[in-house]
Structure 1
């Protein structure tokens, strides 16, 4: 006769910015919430990449391209305007990286494979999207179109960083299996990409 496993209450104790922090949490609900956040972020990336690819794909002159946004929508007051203008003039290189990057990040998040690497690459992409939305520089407080400092790209960036820190690929993901392989045991640096 199988016994039902009871949820385990744990206490997290840490020091953040020189201040002791302690709180109770449920391992069960933490695992469900991490898995849920992982699947939502997988959907966000997969949907974005597939929509761009479905708009005609790479090489189709009517297809989605980052050039219109990069050349016309990034504010001249943005301190990174020159970088984004360069990206816009090199859209033939940037577009495949955005489209296939989003699809591959989405798949890695979905299946929990090379999760930490994929989440950090997704956070890096969100960092670029966030900085492209800046309407001004430091003295202006880096305002963005839909908020003074924070927009959805910034939120996604922090969420992906958190999921990478938690090792969300181990929760009903392939990384838990990959970490037990002899290749990873013989090359422990691979653990930085997994999790």
Structure 2
């Protein structure tokens, strides 16, 4: 495939998207971590949302109610997952793995926002089918596919190491 525009601009745009997505995850995770104040980490809980905010018409409602029963596991996974994904995106380290985990998290947030099922057009707040979680998910898939972690990122150096050269499967986590 050939591009008619500067590859430099392509790199700048990927770096910009990477930094913005890192900010989205870091901010969300840090807000949750310190919601109760510095002395009360993890005061945030997903239980209220999972039990009360998922629409009854959402075809996955029972799954989210099941998650609410395991908040002691889910809550730290969400908080520290968002923080670690944000840091990995920011520094371009294990980028593809982080982008995949972020996209999976966004897909769960997206499905939780459904106000109904397929016959209703998967409505979400302010429209049908598309919301910010879906957009973030698609951006993360694109950045991972493009290997955006190599652009001013740690993954560029990691891919040069003998360990990665001897275990090429590791490249699926990097980039």
Q: Taking structure 1 as the reference length, what is the TM-score of the superposition?
A: 0.86
Q: How many pairs are equivalent? A: 173
Give 2:28's aligned residue: 48
Give 1:192's aligned residue: 172
Q: Which runs of 5+ in 2 are unaligned?
A: none
Give 1:157's aligned residue: 137
Shift of residue 149, structure 1, vs aligned partner: 0.9
**Match of 1:77, SS?**
coil
Q: Evaluate the alpha carbon distance shift between residue 168 and residue 136 of structure 1 in structure 2; reply closer, same or farther with a 3 A threshold.
A: same
| Higher radius of gyration, 1 or 2 | 1
Deviation string for 1:59-91 (max 9, x for gaps)?
x59811111000000011111001000011211
1:148 aligns with 2:128: yes
1:30 aligns with 2:19: no
User: Conserved in 1, the CA contact under 8 Å of 2:85 and 2:99?
Assistant: yes
Greater share of residues in strand = 1
Q: 1:77 aligns with which of 51, 57, 66?
A: 57
Greater RCO, CA 8 A, separation 6+:
2
Stretches of 4+ moved more than 6 A in 1?
A: none
Q: 1:90 aligns with which of 70, 85, 89?
A: 70
Give 1:20's aligned residue: none
> 2: distance between equivalents of 1:182 and 1:147?
50
1:168 aligns with 2:123: no
Deviation string for 1:8-44 (max 9, x for gaps)?
xxxx35xxxxxxxxx5121010010000000000000
Question: RMSD in angstroms over aligned alpha carbons?
Answer: 1.4
Shift of residue 158, structure 1, vs aligned partner: 0.1
Q: Which runs of 5+ in 1 are unaligned?
A: 1-11, 14-22
Greater share of residues in helix = 2
**Match of 1:128, SS?**
helix
> 2: distance between equivalents of 1:160 and 1:111?
15
